[in-house]
Amino acid sequence: MVSDHCSTLPGSSGLATPHGHFVQLPLFNPIDEASLYLPQNGGYFSLLVRGEEGKILQHSYPVKELARVLSLIDVGRDTWISQAQFWTTLRRVVNVKSISTAFLDIDSYKGYEWAVGRNPEQLSDCFMSFCDDEGIPRPSITNFSGQGLQPKWLFASALPRAALPRWNALEKHLVKKFDQYGADPHAKDAARVLRVTQTVSSKSGKVCRTVGMTAGDDGKPLVYDFDELCEYILPLSRAELEERRHYAATKGVKVLRKDNGFSLQTLNWSRLEDLRMLLKLRGGIDEGQRMEMLFYMMNFLALSGQVTLATFYREASFIAAEIDPMWTFRSAELRTVYAKFQAAMRGEKISLNGYEFTPLYTPKTETLVDLFQVTDEEMIHMKTLISEDVRRERHRISEMNARRAAGAIPRADYEGRADARAERARELRCQGVKVSEIAKVMGLSRMQVYRYLNV
């Protein structure tokens, strides 16, 4: 049952009249709304439009042309826009350049009791109260899609593609939190398109528009630091995960799984990126290894959480074209990895020696290096497909650079400084100062502050 305070909340996009009715504020036109999450830092965005015969047509444009393209759209047609920017004109997860928002698609119109009898502005107010109840920061803006709601959390800066696994973990957690309110479990991939504001939805005949906003100090939609948003929302923060890893290492325990999921996802995303780099360095791959390459690339894409069962074969066709533009693979050849992906999505596990593993393939680095015969010269460009010798050399160089950065001071002096910093950090924390403010005052990163607080 939705509480009475759901109908009037501070921060609403509607203005309450003396009779309690809501008048929509003219918050954003399509250009202003899209500019919030498509910063002009290069790349492409995609626009999908339903044609006269009902067929959906897709075109991609440079982000620098965003204002011109949106000024020319026919607002009477169903129109969707990508929420991320891409390196190429192909809207695929593996082509994501950056993303500046987290989002949900709330199907409030599907018979949910809380939504019955409420107009879009009131639905937005209800969702704000749900965020408060669930301990989730309120979305920066909330759009009405013509049928349901599309809340968006805007980031202070665009996330690079390397951050997609953690972004995906955030999306999954948001969907899980708001599942009971109608969150669409399929609308959580980085290549997703959502409705363009001020266009008409043919399903309802209603105009899509912005109906809610959480304002910052400047009166504009509030933007969030992505790391702080994750640390607030996800079950464990980076610092807590680091503490668990440190504890496991001191106890000699092998950590097979990270509780937020994004560490293993990041590893597998990096595996995929390394294989793509290998293709680039070699200008393609021998015909005899094409299927093995596609097989493992799709396996790692599935493990990284950046593809769904519905988009699996579509992403595979794009990656196959990367391997060889003239190659047409048979979908049956990916049946094994697809079946394992299905099992993983059902939550199935494989038990071995007291541990549980995903049904998907998790080959060792040495196996991949040997299989694709990665050379030392190629390893220079890799993150994970490296030999043990290369790994040790990188670690040695990293340690040396760290010592240089620390000024190579005597160990006793260095430890004394560290103790003083830890004491100062704890003192500020006891005074109620936030971690981000402590980091700013002391000239440290948030991770360093967390470490000093946990000493």
Say which residues have a Cβ less than 8 Å from residue 219's Cβ, sequence separation at least 6: none
Q: What is the pLDDT of residues 179-227, one digit of tens each?
A: 999 999 989 999 999 999 999 999 999 999 999 999 888 888 999 999 8
Total number of domains constituting the chain = 3
Residues 170 and 316 in one domain: no
Residues 224 and 246 in one domain: no
Q: What is the pLDDT of residues 25-47, one digit of tens each?
A: 445 789 999 999 999 888 999 99
Side-chain-side CA neighbours of residue 381 (13 Å)? 14
Instruction: Reply yes or no on whether the pLDDT at 54 is more than 90.
Output: no
Q: Of 196, 215, 233, which closes a domain?
A: 233
Mean pLDDT computed over 231-246: 64
- If one compares 3 and 288, the residue with the highest pLDDT of the two is 288
Q: Tokens in use for 13?
A: 């996009």
Q: Tokens in use for 333?
A: 């050849």
Residues 252 and 190 in one domain: no
Residues 373 and 419 in one domain: no
- pLDDT of amino acid 121: 93
Q: What is the pLDDT of residues 285-330, one digit of tens each?
A: 888 889 999 999 999 999 988 888 988 998 999 899 889 888 888 8
Instruction: Reply yes or no on whether the pLDDT at 450 is more than 80.
Output: no
Residues 200 and 254 in one domain: no
Domain CATH for 434: 1.10.10
| pLDDT bucket at 242, cuts 50 / 70 / 90 | low
DSSP SS3 for 272: helix
Round to whole Å and give the CA distance between 162 and 176.
23
Residues 425 and 398 in one domain: no
What Cα–Cα distance (Å) separates residue 121 from each residue in 5, 6, 23, 153, 182?
14, 11, 9, 18, 17
The region of weakest confidence among 121-125, 248-252, 428-432 is 248-252
Q: What is the pLDDT of residues 56-77, one digit of tens each?
A: 999 999 999 999 999 999 999 9
- Torsion, CA 290, CA 295, CA 300, CA 301, rounded to 10: 90
Residues 359 and 445 in one domain: no
Domain CATH for 125: 3.30.70.1790
| pLDDT bucket at 13, cuts 50 / 70 / 90 | very low
What Cα–Cα distance (Å) separates residue 104 from each residue in 8, 83, 107?
22, 11, 9
DSSP SS3 for 162: helix
**Amino acid at site 97:** K
**Phi and psi angles of residue 237, each rounded to the nearest 5 degrees, phi first:** -80, 170
- pLDDT of amino acid 179: 94
| pLDDT bucket at 407, cuts 50 / 70 / 90 | low
- If one compares 447 and 137, the residue with the highest pLDDT of the two is 137
Say which residues have a Cβ less than 8 Å from residue 85's Cβ, sequence separation at least 6: 38, 39, 41, 42, 43, 44, 45, 63, 96, 97, 98, 99, 158
Mean pLDDT computed over 379-398: 86
Q: What is the pLDDT of residues 354-369, one digit of tens each?
A: 778 889 999 989 899 9
Count of residues in the chain:
455
H-run or E-run covering 96: strand 96-103
Residues 302 and 222 in one domain: no
Say which residues have a Cβ less than 8 Å from residue 275's Cβ, sequence separation at least 6: 293, 296, 297, 300, 372, 385
Residues 280 and 376 in one domain: yes
- pLDDT of amino acid 7: 43
Mean per-residue pLDDT over the chain, rounded? 83
Instruction: Reply yes or no on whether the pLDDT at 251 is more than 80.
Output: no
Residues 198 and 253 in one domain: no
Residues 360 and 282 in one domain: yes
| pLDDT bucket at 11, cuts 50 / 70 / 90 | very low
- Torsion, CA 328, CA 330, CA 331, CA 332, rounded to 10: -170
Instruction: Reply yes or no on whether the pLDDT at 122 is more than 50.
Output: yes
Catalogue the E-assigned strands of 328-445.
350-352, 355-357
What Cα–Cα distance (Å) separates residue 340 from each residue in 290, 296, 316, 359?
20, 13, 15, 5
Residues 398 and 433 in one domain: no
Task: Give the range of the structural domain holding residue 322, as residue numbers without chain letter.
Answer: 238-402
The residue assigned the tokens 């109620």 is 432
